[in-house]
Amino acid sequence: MKILAIYRHYWPDTTPYARLLRAILEEQVSRGHSASVFTAQPSYNDISHSRQPHRETIGGVDIRRIRLLPERKHLRLLRALNFIYFLFRAVTHVLWRRYDLIVANTHPPVLMGWVLRMIHRVTGIPFVLHCQDIHPESAVIANQLREGRISRWLERIDTENCSAAESVVTLSEDMKQTLLRRKGYTGNNITVINNFALDVYEPEENLPTLFNDAVQHPFRVFFAGNIGLFQDLPRLIEAAHILSAEQDIHFIFMGAGAELRSLRSLADNLIGKTVFFEPYQPVEVAFGCMQRADLGVVSLRTGVCQVAYPSKTMTYLAAGCPILLLAERDSQLAEDILVHDFGYVPEKLTFSNIAETISAARDQRERWTADARQKLIARSEKFYGRSKSLAAWQDIFGLGVVAPDSRSKNHTPGLTDGMKKAA
């Protein structure tokens, strides 16, 4: 079977999904399938990266990269042009090549699913929508889109996208229920497959000085990843202000994103004392820091658990780092953490309650011995295991896909059988 993945940010780009997709595709190659990915030059979060080959093979996966215009997050028109150009090139790539299945993350939101639906109409190629988050509901939650006529219109389009998909993969039951609440969608093609810990290809030992493993190091509350609207990190800074007298508690933020500047402004005079900012680092460095952190922060704006399940959860746990979850306690994510003793979830998401939870965790730091961390890794592997997830993906790749040579050798790109008869 010939599989094509379409995603703008493939490895070595810095999105978590870039690594997840690589693992999924390489697994299929190991099972005898042919896998290709249509992508662009690394550009996520405006992070500079060395230019990659236009075409290469990594792990048996054929990678084809295109160049896009230089962009910055605040230049929305330029970003939109890049999205449109990328999708146009992806469509032309598909129309003149033979694939048996297309897999794509829902990025750009709604539009990617619509493009796949149009490709399916023209070529008959089935497609899988991998929903790392659900749109437009997530945009409404983040106050990027008002709930109203436009959001309902986008939801109808995305519902049609999901209905046309061979399979829709979500990360949690919460996300599945969000889709099932949509009018006119049966959801009989939904499969829940959670992500697994990100691969660390080259372990890094040279870590930032803040993670110097002195015998009496401060209690490290560590956040690594995108610093954006979904994360709602200001409440963690407010907790840091409440705990400012506790000099042995350090709040460390590593990453980049649209909200970084405002977060630094909110931290104000705590920067360099109890609050520290580190620039984006490769996963290998971040993973090493997680291994030495006392708490790994997973923070989500209220309601985001209904439309997303952050993969950093699994990466913290794979590093043996207990989690501090800042999200609703009635979510599946909170239940997973509490039931399996993966870390801490405040009773309420008030600044004072968050500060109290962190202070209590600091007082219990002796609980997380090296042996306890190893047991944490083992529990998380059993629950979020890579082999478990990839086995579920194997079932997806076997669903309703045409055999490699079942399409006519006289297949004309861009024409379905019905259209050819009409011609």
Structural domain of residue 37, as residue ranges? 2-196+386-422
If asked whether residues 267 and 153 sit together in one domain, one would say no
Same domain, 137 and 86: yes
Nearest to 277 by CA among 292, 304, 259: 259
410 in any annotated domain: yes
Structure tokens at 250: 């350090």
Same domain, 349 and 378: yes
**What pLDDT is recorded for position 421?**
31
Does 187 share its domain with 94?
yes
Residue 32 in domain: yes
Q: How confident is the model at residue 422 (pLDDT cuts 50, 70, 90)?
A: very low
46 lies in some domain:
yes
pLDDT for 419 equals 31
Residues 314 and 258 in one domain: yes
pLDDT in tens, 345-377: 999 999 999 999 999 999 999 999 999 999 999
Residue 204 lies in a domain: no
pLDDT in tens, 200-219: 766 667 899 999 876 568 99
Residue that is written with structure tokens 């110097």 in the block: 212
Is residue 178 located within the same domain as residue 312? no
| Contacts with 5 (C-beta within 8 Å, 6 or more apart), sequence order | 21, 24, 25, 35, 36, 37, 38, 102, 103, 104
Written as one string, the DSSP assignment of 196-217 is -PPP-SS------GGG---TT-
The verdict on 145 and 255 lying in the same domain is: no
Do 380 and 390 fall into the same domain?
no
The CATH number of the domain holding residue 243 is 3.40.50.2000
| Stretch 306-327: mean pLDDT | 95
Tell me the whole-structure pTM to 2 decimals. Answer: 0.85
Written as one string, the DSSP assignment of 19-67 is HHHHHHHHHHHHTT-EEEEEEE-S-GGG---PPPPSEEEETTEEEEEE-
Rounded Cα distance between 112 and 247, Å, is 48
By C-alpha distance, which of 46, 20, 107 is closest to 280? Answer: 46
Position 286 pLDDT exceeds 80: yes
What is the rounded CA–CA span in Å between residue 258 and residue 237?
16
Q: 201 lies in a domain?
A: no
Find all residues with CB under 8 Å of 401, minimum gap 6, and list them: 1, 100, 101, 126, 166
Q: Around Cβ 198, how many Cβ atoms within 10 Å?
A: 22
pLDDT digits (tens, 9 = 90+) for 18-33: 989 999 999 999 999 9
Tell me how crowded residue 142 is: count the other CB atoms within 10 A of its CB.
17
408 within a domain of the structure (yes/no): yes
pLDDT tens for residues 150-183? 999 999 999 999 999 999 999 999 999 999 999 9
- 222: three-class secondary structure by DSSP: strand
Residue 81 in any domain: the answer is yes
Does residue 352 share a domain with residue 286? Answer: yes
Q: Are residues 271 and 377 in the same domain?
A: yes
pLDDT at 403 over 50: no
> 203 lies in a domain?
no
Task: State how far the Cα of 235 lies from the Cα of 251, in Å rounded to an integer.
Answer: 12
Q: Does the structure show a pLDDT above 50 at 409? A: no
Q: What is the SS3 string spanning 224-235?
A: ECCCCCCCCCHH
Q: How many domains does the chain have?
A: 2
For the packed helices 234-242 and 260-267, what is the interaxial angle rounded to 10 degrees? Answer: 10
Are residues 359 and 227 part of one domain? yes
Q: Are residues 165 and 286 in the same domain?
A: no
